[in-house]
Amino acid sequence: AQTVTQSQPEMSVQEAETVTLSCTYDTSESDYYLFWYKQPPSRQMILVIRQEAYKQQNATENRFSVNFQKAAKSFSLKISDSQLGDAAMYFCAYNGANNLFFGTGTRLTVIP
Amino acid sequence: DTEVTQTPKHLVMGMTNKKSLKCEQHMGHRAMYWYKQKAKKPPELMFVYSYEKLSINESVPSRFSPECPNSSLLNLHLHALQPEDSALYLCASSLSGTSGGTYYEQYFGPGTRLTVT
């Protein structure tokens, strides 16, 4: 069975600084996708970034980038130039043959 | 347009009531999902509809009854709920399901906050 682990229940970052959120997963599948979703207090789950397992290049979306280490089954999210609007719960998610599995989440606080 | 809409935003119901949650998307997506999310927890998958057919039911109690009248609409009918069913109910859609080795990101609605009294 697939499992997704986020070992940091809470993180904080100063505004304009950089923060990295960790995620590891366990799978025997060779073809899968990985996602980071953001859930602010407004509750809506927003897709931040996606990574296809077959791609070696790390995905980037503006201030958000990932460090995907397939052999280590690691998928961390780096947020650069943090903004107050980045404060939210961040979920790492694995999508393989059996739909989406979420990690337990990391609550990010941005300090002005 | 990557919008999934859900109504109502909030719902309070008694244990003997019957109510329905509604979800709609107009992105041409053919897979739709219901999740249940308790406070400070990740979403838990309840049901998956793929091409308007129920493809996954994650052992959800029969007091929850999903319905997919067409490719844009997904309902969740609620009857005789328990207080422990109080949660945020999220709907999501994706271009298609995960069969065939192609995986698409899911787009989520804002959720319905359900309180069972």
Question: Per the CB < 8 Å rule, is B103 touching A46?
Answer: no
What is chain B's mean pLDDT, rounded?
Answer: 90
If one counts every other C-beta atom within 10 angstroms of the C-beta of residue B115, the result is 13
Q: Could you report the per-residue pLDDT of B91-117, keeping only the tens digit for each?
A: 999 987 655 555 678 999 999 999 999
Cα angle, residue A39 at apex, residues B23 and A24 outer, rounded to 5°: 115
Which residues from chain B sit within 8 angstroms of residue A37, using beta carbons?
108
Is the pLDDT score of A98 beyond 70? no
Instruction: Find how far residue B107's CA is from the centre of its chain.
Output: 12
Which residues from chain A sit within 8 angstroms of residue B25, using beta carbons?
none
Query: What pairing do the DSSP bridges indicate for beta strands B112-116 and B107-108?
Result: unpaired
If one counts every other C-beta atom within 10 angstroms of the C-beta of residue B105, the result is 18
Task: Specify the higher pLDDT residue, A39 or A56.
Answer: A39
The whole-number pLDDT of residue A2 equals 75
Compare CB distances from B105 to A42, A50, A96 and report the shortest one's residue. Answer: A50
Q: Could you report the per-residue pLDDT of B29-45, keeping only the tens digit for each?
A: 989 999 999 998 999 99
